[in-house]
Amino acid sequence: MWSFYEYTRDNNKMLETRKTIAREIEALKSQPMLFVQTTPEEGTAIPFGPRHLIIRGLTTPGAKVSINGEPVKSMEPTGYFFERYFMAGGFFPDKGRAIKDTNPTITITAEFNGKKRTVERTFKLLD
C-alpha cells in the first residue's frame, strides 16, 4: 500500500496509475456499473496453500453478479456485494496430495437489463 512516505517518481508508473483511475471513473458512469476491490489487491503474490480472497464491490441495484461463473450469494439491495473466494490449489490432507492452480485470474461479471460488464483481477501464484 502506497503512503505519503512511500512514493515513486517513475513517469511510467504514474501514467499507468492515471489510466487506471480514468478507467474506474468511466466504469462508474456506464451500465451496469461495476466497481470491484479485492483483498489482497490485484498483482499480489499469493503463497501456495489455501488461497483466500475477499472480493467486494458495488454494482447497479438489481444486477446479478457472478465470480468465475458462480453467482454471488451476499448481495445487498443497494448493489453492494461481498464474497469470500478460495482459489483452487493447495494441499488437501483428505486426498493426500497437492493441487496446483494454473489460473491466477478471477473474473467478476455484472448483468443488468441485458447488458454485461466484466472485470478481471490477476494474482501471482507462488509454489
| Structural domains in the chain, sorted by start | 32-125 (2.60.40)
Contacts of 82 (CB under 8 A, 6+ apart): 54, 55, 56, 74
User: Is 27 buried (19+), middle (13-18) or exposed (0-12) by CB count in 10 A?
Assistant: middle
Note down pLDDT in tens along the chain; length 127 residues: 456 667 778 888 889 888 988 887 887 777 899 989 999 988 888 887 777 889 999 999 999 999 989 999 999 999 999 999 887 655 444 444 454 555 678 899 999 999 999 999 988 888 7
pLDDT of residue 65: 97
Residue of 112, 108, 16, 126 lying closest to 57 (CA atoms): 108
User: Is 56 buried (19+), middle (13-18) or exposed (0-12) by CB count in 10 A?
Assistant: middle
Cell reading at 34: 461495476
Quote the pTM value.
0.70
pLDDT of residue 85: 87
pLDDT of residue 101: 53
pLDDT of residue 92: 45
